[in-house]
Every structure is written in C-alpha cells, then in structure tokens.
Amino acid sequence: MKRKSVAILGATGAVGQRFIQLLDGHPWLEVAALAASERSVGKPYREACTWRLPTMLPESIGRMPIQPLRPEKLQGIDLVFSALPADAALDVEPTFAEAGMAVSSNASAFRFAEDVPLLIPEVNADHAALIPLQQRRRHWSGFIVTNPNCTTTGIALALKPLDDAFGLEAVMATSMQAISGAGYPGVSSFDMLDNVLCLIPGEEEKMQQEARLLLGKFERERVEEARFVLSAQANRVPVLDGHTICLSVKLNATASPQQAGTVLSGFRGVSAAQGLPSSPPRPLAVCPEADRPQPRLDRDAGGGMQVSVGRIRECPIFDLKLVVVVHNTVRGAAGGSILNSELLIHEGYI
Ligand code: NAP
C-alpha cells in the first residue's frame, strides 16, 4: 500500500510531538506537513517547538517549515491529525474536511456533534458509520472523527468488557491525571510540586458524557447513549505521563472480582480493530500484583497503547472497585488518533 500523506495541526505541542514520535517509520502513514499557530509559521520545526520527548527528533522533521492552518497551503494531504486547542479546532477542522481531507482530531470541539464519530476502535468501531451521514449533511467530501478525552479512553476500555458481560448501572470515577495532560508548558511547577489540584476545568463533564457515548449503540444513523450514570472527580497530580483512575462500578448482574478479572483479561475488542499497525495484541493488561497498576511502571505497557487494570476487588457500596492506568498522550491522544485512522484506512473511509 502506498503510504498516505499526513499533516499534523498543532504539531509543536505535547500531543503534536507524540504524533511525530509515533509516526516515525509508520508503515501506512508518512508525515508530509506540519502546522501550528501564527507564532510558529515559517520557522523550521526544530526552532518552533520545545522538543520534550526522550527520543531524538527525526532530522527530516526538524527541518520542515511550519505551515499556516489553511487547507490551501497543504496540498496533496490525505489525512490530517489535529492536536489543536478546542477553540482553534472549532474553526480550523471543518475547513480541512470541507477541502476533502480526513481529519482525525484530539480536540473536544466536535466530540458531541451527533454526526461526528467519537471512536475507540476496540470499543465502538461501528460508530464510524456516521461518516457518510456527516458528509451528506455538511456537504463535505472529507470528514472529522474524534477520539475521546485521555481519561475517558482508559475508563471506556476498562468498562466496555464489564458492560458487555454484566451490564453497567452506575460508575464512580476518580482520576489522578498527569501534568502532560495540560499540554506544554502546562501547569506551573509552583502550583504542581508538593500538591494535588482538585480542579481540571471541563474534565469531569467530558468524562461523564463521553463514556456513555462510546458505549452507546449505533442505530438508525445515530448513537443512542448508554444508560448507566457516571460520576467523575478529576485531579491533577505531579506525575509526568499516565493518568490513574479509581473506578467503583455497580453492575446489573452479580460478578466476583475473579469473574471480572477473567472478562477483562479476555477482552480483545471488536475484530475490525485487531491486527492494525498500532493495535496492541490485547487492549487491556490485567496486573496480577497487589499494588499495580502504577503510572511510572505501567503507562508504557504495549508501547503505551495498552490500558492497565488491577486491584479488582469488592466494593461495600457498589459491586466492584478497580484501578486503571492509561498513557494520556499515547493511547489517550496521538496513539488513539493514529489507531482510529488505521481503522478508517482498513475500512475504506480513507
Ligand atoms: P499544547 O501542548 O498546548 O499544544 C497546542 C498546539 O496548538 C501547539 O502546536 C500550538 O502552536 C497550537 N495552538 C495553540 N493555540 C493556538 C491557536 N489559537 N490557534 C492555532 N494553533 C494554536 O496542547 P496539547 O496538550 O498538545 O493538546 C492539544 C489538543 O489535544 C487539545 O485540544 C487537548 O485538549 C487535546 N488532548 C490533549 C491530551 C494530553 O494528554 N495533552 C490528551 C488528549 C487530548 P504554537 O506552538 O505555535 O503555539
């Protein structure tokens, strides 16, 4: 297969850098253009960006000039990855879709538009069927798909097999989120060191709504949200990468921690999501150790694409409690977006 030409919007930020790292040597995708804000336009990438990943910036990428966020400046591009802030994404992403490009977005701007798929391939690959409807309604030859908020990605992957096997009724989710989730340079060290920040604006609302949408059913050209309720509390903690989420779940059917563990470790996701270049062999890694998962030890499981789950035990208020770790800029952002694009290439949408 000829590799698809890719542009990254917001290439200089925390998620943009992760895209560059993950796309280096990708078998299906090739980075052909980089774009960012007016502040960066015209500069070579190496100068425009403060590279903060431990791997080397690829030489050829470092030399690429930053382009403006305008589709007419990015000719010959098949696929656009967006790592823009939501307000910029709201204006910019439709112009690329209208110009015929596929846009795979990390931003929240279109996550709740009823004709825009919010996708995690293993969870709801069938929601991609919203794409033709979106193109018809908006008169676009391209389209937008989104991936969920980084925390929701971990929650939805852990909840999907439990919902399928036992039915979900209610979920309490308390997150301890890494500082890279706030972008670069993000939260000041004065605020973050020796501290826990108990407010991440907008985060709890996203977690509460996105999980229900992801586990919802695609029927008659729309997604019917799942019925369970989710109550979220989001905190920022002094961890560099990897969000930890403590879940308490109330189920429709009785399940022991052992039964839940078996279901979680047996989860493979829908078949369309298996065998793609970025698919981990198993979406979930169930930790047998009593004190895992931990972000420093488990965020890189499966190259950052596996979500780690552990401490599955009885809950005296609900039914079960468990702990989830997700790499926020890999599975929860750039890696999730790349996996979405691989699914869409495999399914013939791109
Ligand atoms: P970031 O580090 O602040 O990077 C933002 C990027 O967008 C930079 O390339 C910046 O370019 C560009 N940009 C900023 N303001 C702009 C404007 N007004 N117009 C056009 N471009 C602008 O943010 P991030 O953490 O990478 O997040 C990017 C997106 O992904 C956000 O929507 C975020 O919510 C989402 N997301 C992030 C994570 C995570 O873990 N960080 C996870 C999931 C989703 P310049 O360098 O030129 O300013």
Q: What is the pLDDT of residues 286-303, one digit of tens each?
A: 999 999 999 999 999 999
Nearest CA to ligand 1 atom 9: 10
User: Could you tell me if 102 and 168 lie in one domain?
Assistant: no
**CATH code for position 242:** 3.30.360.10
Q: How many other CB atoms are found less than 10 A from the CB of residue 209?
A: 19
End-to-end CA distance of the chain: 12
User: Could you tell me if 165 and 110 lie in one domain?
Assistant: no
Q: Is 346 a catalytic residue?
A: no
pLDDT in single tens digits along all 350 residues of the chain: 899 999 999 999 999 999 999 999 999 999 999 999 999 999 999 999 999 999 999 999 999 999 999 999 898 999 999 999 999 999 999 999 999 999 999 999 999 999 999 999 999 999 999 999 999 999 999 999 999 999 999 999 999 999 999 999 999 999 999 999 999 999 999 999 999 999 999 999 999 999 999 999 999 889 999 999 999 999 999 999 999 999 999 999 999 999 999 999 999 999 999 999 999 989 999 999 999 999 999 999 999 999 999 999 999 999 999 999 999 999 999 999 999 999 999 999 99
CA 292, CA 190: separation in Å to the nearest integer? 29
Q: Which atom of ligand 1 is nearest to the CA of 69?
A: 20
User: Could you tell me if 157 and 123 lie in one domain?
Assistant: no
User: Could you tell me if 125 and 62 lie in one domain?
Assistant: yes
Predicted local confidence at residue 75, as pLDDT: 87
Q: Which of 39, 106, 120 to mutate to test the pocket of ligand 1 (most atoms within 8 A of CB)?
A: 106
CA 40, CA 252: separation in Å to the nearest integer? 52
**Do the Cβ atoms of 32 and 76 come closer than 8 Å?**
yes
User: Could you tell me if 167 and 286 lie in one domain?
Assistant: yes
Pocket, ligand 1, Cβ cutoff 6 A: 10-16, 36-37, 39-40, 69, 83-86, 88, 106-107, 149-150, 180-181, 183-184, 328-329, 332-333
Q: Which atom of ligand 1 is nearest to the CA of 184?
A: 2
Predicted local confidence at residue 1, as pLDDT: 81
Residue 59: give the domain boundaries: 4-149+334-346
**CATH code for position 68:** 3.40.50.720
Q: Which atom of ligand 1 is nearest to the CA of 49?
A: 46
User: Could you tell me if 49 and 190 lie in one domain?
Assistant: no
User: Could you tell me if 290 and 342 lie in one domain?
Assistant: no
User: Could you tell me if 23 and 75 lie in one domain?
Assistant: yes
Supply the DSSP symbol for 175.
E
Q: Which atom of ligand 1 is nearest to the CA of 66?
A: 47
**Do the Cβ atoms of 82 and 89 come closer than 8 Å?**
yes
The active-site residue, picked from 49, 127, 150, 287, is 150
In angstroms, what is the span from residue 185 Cα to ligand 1's centroid? Answer: 11
Q: Is 139 a catalytic residue?
A: no
Nearest CA to ligand 1 atom 18: 88
Predicted local confidence at residue 142, as pLDDT: 98
Q: Which of 8, 9, 12, 15 to mutate to test the pocket of ligand 1 (most atoms within 8 A of CB)?
A: 15
User: Could you tell me if 181 and 309 lie in one domain?
Assistant: yes
Please give the tally of structural domains in the chain.
2
Predicted local confidence at residue 294, as pLDDT: 98
The active-site residue, picked from 243, 246, 287, 315, is 243
Nearest CA to ligand 1 atom 29: 83
CA 189, CA 195: separation in Å to the nearest integer? 10
